[in-house]
Structure 1
Amino acid sequence: MITVHHLNQSRSHRAIWALEELSVPYEIVHYQREKTMLAPESLKKVHPLGKSPVVEDNGLILAESGAILEYLQENYDPDFHLKPQDPANKIQYRFWLHYAEGSLMPLLLMKLVFNSLGKPPVPFGLRTLGKALGKGVQKAYLDRQLETHARFIESHLAQNAWFAGETLSMADVQMSFPIFALLARGGIDNLPHTHAWKKKVEMRPGWQRTLEQGGPLNIPG
Structure 2
Amino acid sequence: MIVVHHLNNSRSQRVLWLLEELGLPYEVKRYQRNAKTMLAPPELKAIHPLGKSPVITDGGQTVAETGAIIEYLLETYGQGRLIPAAGTPERLRFTYWLHYAEGSAMSPLLLKLVFANLPKRAPFLLKGLVGSVAAKAQSSFIDPQLKTHVDYWEAELGKADWFAGSEFSAADVQMSFPVEVAAVRVGFKGRPKLQAFLERIQARPAYQRALERGGLYKLG
TM-score range, shorter chain: over 0.9
Q: 1:71 maps to what in 2?
A: 72
Q: Distance in 2 between matches of 1:195 and 1:155?
A: 12
1:5 aligns with 2:18: no
1:45 aligns with 2:40: no
Q: TM-score, normalised by structure 1?
A: 0.96
Q: Distance in 1 between matches of 2:22 and 2:52?
A: 24
Letter in 2 for 1:26: Y
Which sections of structure 1, spanning at least 5 residues, go unmatched? none
Q: Distance in 2 between matches of 1:204 and 1:188?
A: 20
Q: Distance in 1 between matches of 2:40 and 2:164?
A: 32
Q: TM-score, normalised by structure 2?
A: 0.96
Report the identity percentage: 48
Displacement of 1:184 after TM fit?
A: 0.7
Q: 1:145 maps to what in 2?
A: 145
Q: 2:20 maps to what in 1?
A: 20
Flag as ranges the 4+ runs of structure 1 deviating above 4 A.
Answer: none
Question: CA offsets, 1:24-72, max 9 Å, x none?
Answer: 0000000000021000011001100000011001110000000000100
Of 18-27 and 159-168, deviating more is 159-168
Q: Distance in 2 between matches of 1:124 and 1:198?
A: 39
Q: 2:168 maps to what in 1?
A: 168
Alignment of 1:59-208 (within 5 A): 59-78=60-79, 80-85=80-85, 87-119=88-120, 121-187=121-187, 189-208=189-208
Q: Distance in 1 between matches of 2:209 and 2:124?
A: 42
Q: Distance in 1 between matches of 2:30 and 2:126?
A: 35
Contact 2:8 2:31 in 1 (8 A): yes
Contact 1:82 1:169 in 2 (8 A): yes
Q: Let me know the Cα RMSD of the aligned residues.
A: 1.1
Q: Distance in 2 between matches of 1:187 and 1:194?
A: 10
Question: CA offsets, 1:97-130, max 9 Å, x none?
Answer: 01001111011000000111121x3322222222
Which sections of structure 2, spanning at least 5 residues, go unmatched? none
Q: Distance in 2 between matches of 1:97 and 1:14?
A: 12
- Report the count of equivalent residues: 218
